Amino acid sequence: MTIPSSITSWIPVPESSDFPIQNLPMGWATLPSGFSSPVTRIGDTIVAVGDLVNHGLLPPELAKVRAGWTALTKAELAQLRETLMNLYRSESEPYAELIQIETLLPLDQVILHTPVSIPAFVDFYSGIHHASNVGKMFRPDQPPLLPNYRHLPVGYNGRASSVVVSGTPIRRPKGQTKAPNDENPTFGPTKEMDFELEVGFFLHSGNAMGEPIEIELAEEHILGIVLVNDWSARDVQRWEYQPLGPFLAKSFGTTVSPWVIALDALEPFRVSGPDQEPAVLPHLKASTVGHFDIQLEVSLQPNGSEEASLLCQSNTKHLYWSFSQQLAHQTSNGTPTEAGDLYASGTISGPDEGSYGSMLELTWKGTKPITIQGQTRTFLEDGDTLTLRGFAQGDGYRIGFGEASGTVLPA
């Protein structure tokens, strides 16, 4: 259910908040009572959805949400959004004390977790500007894009066990690296710690082995969208990635925002993606618009500083492959997927330098250092805090994602 822009909430919502009543994101938190519960957010107020069940404020068929967001069908999730809207819209304020107070909590009184349990994690490479930049840097005598790029969403299987919620520190990894003129590799902390500006989607439901998800049905399997920072060790990656791709350079940590944004909330922000030439094969051709106009930004708070500075700005509309195409491709060989699986987009860079979504690009492989608050950076240093933000701007409101933030700890 898409909530009309004219509806407001009796819960205070700060101006330019990421979380008006039109959003109603899906999260999971430990409450002051010590119990864990599905939660949503309006402004800076947390709604304990599990407590709504305990107080009889949700229809009985929605009570199973206490087991997790994926316990509800897609139709029931839409019903839940409508119920929450009716409870918290401005017209319901006269009943607030009777029905809501015990279910509302200040944001700083809960501990947010990853919004769902994550069985598997796949990282795609769907940002065409990022892929082109990497090709220019590492294969200057060849075309920037490899021959398969415009025919299929390139991806690899990552580590679900190292996906963490925003605010979790990330320790600098160790690994093998080899300088161009060295005879043998060495082992030690990465010297090229990097971030990747991405978004991702969680699955609401999976598929049985041997039964691909058709592209026209792909969104029925998507729970919603989150911010993703797939931290990277570029020097480790450069040595290990041939011939099978990323491994230890990526698996040490991936940060996600704590809020899943439903596709219903993003419906007003659908846009056409880039023209896909040559035409994609039939199993990847969708009849509906599958991209979204979500503004993205990254800020860096350097070690020792008390404030952050903007690093880059981009937009999800720059993705070459849509979420539906990514999921249809993932299952096209019959691989089974599960509720809670996380699929990340790959780095989302735009066409100009200010929109590059990684330090690798912003400093062009370390050859063009940048200065932030008087400190020079080619890659991330210990103590640096990196924060991703994103929002879709509507008429008088925005649908935001909150933050995906992490601080680099020493190896």
The catalytic residue among 130, 204, 221, 291 is 130
Q: Any alpha helices (H) in 243-297, and if so which ranges?
A: 248-251, 263-266
- Whether 55 is catalytic is no
Q: What are phi and psi of 269, to 5 degrees?
A: -110, 20
Residue 24's nearest CA partner among 43, 50, 51 is 43
Q: Helix, strand or coil for residue 189?
A: strand
> Please, what is the end-to-end C-alpha distance for the chain in angstroms?
46
User: How far apart, in Å, are the Cα atoms of 288 and each of 31, 74, 237, 284?
Assistant: 40, 19, 37, 12
Give the burial string for 81-98 (b: 16+ CB within 10 Å, else e).
bebbbebbbeeeeeeeee
Question: Which residue is it, tokens 């993932």?
Answer: 330
**Two structure tokens written together for 198:** 């991405």
Give the burial string for 243-266 (b: 16+ CB within 10 Å, else e).
eebbebbbbbbbbbbbbbbbbbbb
Length of the chain: 411
Alpha carbon distance 357, 380 (integer Å)? 14
Alpha carbon distance 308, 387 (integer Å)? 9
Active-site positions read 130
